[in-house]
Amino acid sequence: MSQIVLPSRPVIGILHPGVMGASVGSALKPVAGAVIWAAAGRSVTTSKRAEIADFVGVPDLAELVRRADLIISVCPPDAARSVAEQVAEAARDRRPLYVDANAVSPATVAGIGDLFGADRTVDAAIIGPPAWEPGHTVLWLAGEQAPVVAALFDGSPFTARVLDGEIGSASGLKACFAAQSKALPTIWLAIAEAARAYGVQDELRDELARTGKDLTALLQQLDDRAAGKAWRWVGEMEEAADAFAAVGLPDGFSRAAAQMYQRMADADPVDLANSWGLRGGAV
């Protein structure tokens, strides 16, 4: 295995500067010649976020690919493959280092690796919130060039850790973590909706309280975490399900969670919040 040598101050492209992407790009600014982003088709909110972070806007993806030594993809999971294909198409005449930092299945990131080559692809998994201060978020990295990327995050708010496994191991870790952090909590929403359908929500709440469980509090916790994000977590749960199915395990847990998050995304937040006495949000 041979590691590539990036320029001493590499140009780093971020696709795209959402809340997480902005934190990744900001973490890399001290070591980058420039952190760039493709402005074409992005929202006013994204543009403002990139401006506040002092990223350099370029007209489009083609220009970003032409200039960047390293490209980091941070996008909704169901867009990860499409974004990678667009980059690969634009990068036919050069080979930037491509980091997929999306919550996708090992199979999805392996397919992305086929687009760029295993020697130019890094599988990355972010576990934790957008990192603005150290101690809260870990960036797991896998692949031949994982140590190269990890070194860029030295001293940043992200704790970068390199896995011994090949491309797919970081995404596998993320899928396993997401199954407990995002899939398991949706069982309370499914239980609550079933109880409401049968007209026994008050009795259920009382029975759960008798065993030390506060259903309203559990639903509130889910709402606090998922408000505004449920649509995004649908794709993540589908990718996690694919990860479990690929190793011969039942995938129904995450597929059911995807369905519940879709219901949350489609629901009227006020109606559901009022039904369960919540402060408001997605549930």
Query: Residue 281 above 60 pLDDT?
Result: no
Amino acid at 279: R
Cα separation of 125 and 138, whole Å?
Answer: 8
The pTM assigned to this predicted structure is: 0.92
Residue 122 burial by Cβ neighbours in a 10 Å radius (0-12, 13-18, 19+):
buried
**What would the pLDDT profile of 244-254 be if each residue is shown by its tens digit?**
999 999 999 99
**What would the pLDDT profile of 118-135 be if each residue is shown by its tens digit?**
999 999 999 999 999 999
**What would the pLDDT profile of 193-252 be if each residue is shown by its tens digit?**
999 999 999 999 999 999 999 999 999 999 989 988 999 999 999 999 999 999 999 999
Cα separation of 258 and 264, whole Å?
Answer: 10
Please give the order of strands across the beta sheet that includes 70-73: 56-58, 34-38, 11-15, 70-73, 97-100, 121-127, 137-142, 158-162
